[in-house]
């Protein structure tokens, strides 16, 4: 399916055996205004591939899970019950961590994507990639988290980095605080995590001419993922991200992001929506080139009464009326400089070694180095030391 973008870019180691080294002081974030400068060069991302997760969360090298956005007749007058069907929810196992495995499977199946001009298959080799000709490989969600870091005051992060054939692979790991937070979730909080998936069901169908089917169980094991190539200043990037749906208009197909949020009745609620929520929505969609976000505003009982559309490119300007608003240039300059810090710090070129960067709000970023037996060793042997049949195995699992 042909893909196009609106021009939204112009306006600007268990404690593994033992860690190899002790914790090191790393990268200072504060004051964040030191990143206030002109917006760094960010090349419009280009979609280079895609894949799906089927209803059992298996990797599929196709686009069959891509859904189409089907808007209601009147976006100002809807009644979507997000609680409906919760008792039949088919939920993916959150204890099973995907890490980077599916991105790596896609890479092995698309080696030609990483050939540079005048480079042949014979030069790269058939069974392994001598180089991706790419600086960073990761998930879009990790980059979103980095962009929002200068303005994040609650949730820290932990990112493992492995350098292999001079490409830096980034993989997020849950912090201990996040693990404990999930363990303390109430039944109501767990139900509310279902609401976003149900909202998607009200607005999507397998074909653009079909109507949404809301009587089947919601299954969040399935997903569609876009893989894009981009560049931030000196850093070439390949990253993947889940996409909710797409919409075809005048022969062009564009991706659409679907969100829910509590309806707002007071000035403080609107200010917090702009300050804390829209920065994340903007970063997530801007990175992968999604031009439109559709939000369903709900009440406390989980009933959506109205929808509102946000153009990704307009969100920073829409938020400028609040005091001390977040600055897109600070977000991207921080991300650019931290990626450079990773390049300068991660000197060991070994797929079994992980540099783990840790950040807590109001603190600097520190790191430790872990060896092969660490829980942070995330590159699988089938990727960095593939046997001749390994790619066939990936292909057969995605048929």
pTM: 0.91
| Mean pLDDT of the 21-28 span | 75
Give phi and psi for 278, each to the nearest 5.
Answer: -70, -25
**pLDDT at site 62:** 98
pLDDT tier for residue 395 given thresholds of 50, 70 and 90: low
**pLDDT at site 396:** 42
- Indicate the number of domains in the chain: 1
Structural domain boundaries, residue 390: 21-397
| Mean pLDDT of the 269-284 span | 98
More confident residue, 273 or 395: 273
Tokens of 36: 């206030």
For residue 96, is it within any domain?
A: yes
Sign of CA dihedral 116, 287, 182, 160: positive
**pLDDT at site 249:** 87
d(CA 231, CA 212): 37
For residue 127, is it within any domain?
A: yes
For residue 100, is it within any domain?
A: yes
For residue 4, is it within any domain?
A: no
Q: Are 214 and 202 in contact (CB under 8 A)?
A: yes
H helix or E strand, kind and range, residue 217: none
pLDDT per residue over 177-229, tens digit each? 999 999 999 999 999 999 999 999 999 999 999 999 999 999 999 999 999 99
pLDDT per residue over 334-369, tens digit each? 999 999 999 999 999 999 999 999 999 999 999 999
More confident residue, 100 or 13: 100
d(CA 342, CA 168): 8
**Dmax of the chain from CA atoms?**
64
**pLDDT at site 122:** 52
Q: Which residue has the tokens 């820290």?
A: 156
Concatenating the DSSP letter of every residue in 120-168 gives -HHHH-SSS-S--S-SEEEEHHHHHHHHHGGG-SS--EEEEEEEETTEE
Concatenating the DSSP letter of every residue in 213-260 gives --SSPPBTT-EEEEEEEEEETTEEEEEEEE--EEEEETTEEEEEEEEE
Tokens of 231: 């560049």
d(CA 235, CA 136): 7
**pLDDT at site 394:** 62
What burial class does residue 394 get, using C-beta atoms within 10 Å of its C-beta: 0-12 exposed, 13-18 middle, 19+ buried?
buried
Q: Are 70 and 202 in contact (CB under 8 A)?
A: no
For residue 9, is it within any domain?
A: no
For residue 8, is it within any domain?
A: no
pLDDT per residue over 103-121, tens digit each? 999 999 999 999 886 665 5
pLDDT tier for residue 72 given thresholds of 50, 70 and 90: very high
**pLDDT at site 13:** 35
pLDDT tier for residue 4 given thresholds of 50, 70 and 90: very low
Q: What three-state secondary structure class fits 240? A: strand
Give phi and psi for 303, each to the nearest 5.
Answer: -105, 120
**pLDDT at site 250:** 86
| Mean pLDDT of the 53-82 span | 97
pLDDT per residue over 150-177, tens digit each? 999 999 999 999 999 999 999 999 999 9
Of 372, 359, 384, the residue nearest 29 (C-alpha) = 359
Tokens of 84: 């409906």
For residue 306, is it within any domain?
A: yes
């Amino acid at each position: 399916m042909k893909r196009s973008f609106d021009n939204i870019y112009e306006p600007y180691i268990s404690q593994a055996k033992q860690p190899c080294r002790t914790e090191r002081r790393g990268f200072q974030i504060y004051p964040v205004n030191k990143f206030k400068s002109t917006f760094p060069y960010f090349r419009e991302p280009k979609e280079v591939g895609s894949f799906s997760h089927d209803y059992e969360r298996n990797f599929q090298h196709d686009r069959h899970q891509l859904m189409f956005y089907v808007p209601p007749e009147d976006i100002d007058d809807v009644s979507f019950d997000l609680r409906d069907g919760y008792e039949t929810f088919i939920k993916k196992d959150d204890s099973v961590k995907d890490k980077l495995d599916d991105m790596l499977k896609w890479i092995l199946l698309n080696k030609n994507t990483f050939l540079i001009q005048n480079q042949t298959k014979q030069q790269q080799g058939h069974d392994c990639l001598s180089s991706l000709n790419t600086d960073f490989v990761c998930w879009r969600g990790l980059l979103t988290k980095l962009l929002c870091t200068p303005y994040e005051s609650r949730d820290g992060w932990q990112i493992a980095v492995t350098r292999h054939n001079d490409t830096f692979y980034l993989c997020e790991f849950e912090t201990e605080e996040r693990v404990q937070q999930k363990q303390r979730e109430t039944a109501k909080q767990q139900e509310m995590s279902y609401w976003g998936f149900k909202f998607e069901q009200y607005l999507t169908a397998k074909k653009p001419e079909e109507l949404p089917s809301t009587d089947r169980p919601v299954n969040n094991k399935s997903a569609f993922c876009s893989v894009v190539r981009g560049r931030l200043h000196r850093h070439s990037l390949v990253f993947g991200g889940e996409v909710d749906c797409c919409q075809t208009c005048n022969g062009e197909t564009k991706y659409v992001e679907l969100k829910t949020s509590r309806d707002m009745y007071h000035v403080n609620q609107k200010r917090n929506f702009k300050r804390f929520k829209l920065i994340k929505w903007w970063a997530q969609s801007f990175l992968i080139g999604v031009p439109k976000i559709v939000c369903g505003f709900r009440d406390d009982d989980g009933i959506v009464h109205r929808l509102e559309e946000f153009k990704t490119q307009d969100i920073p300007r829409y938020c400028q009326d609040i005091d001390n608003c977040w600055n897109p240039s600070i977000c991207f300059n921080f991300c650019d400089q931290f990626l450079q810090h990773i390049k300068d710090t991660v000197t060991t070129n070994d797929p079994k070694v992980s540099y783990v960067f840790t950040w807590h709000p109001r603190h600097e970023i520190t790191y430790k180095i872990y060896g092969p037996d660490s829980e942070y060793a995330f590159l699988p042997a089938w990727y960095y030391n593939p046997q001749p049949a390994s790619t066939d195995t990936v292909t057969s699992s995605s048929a």
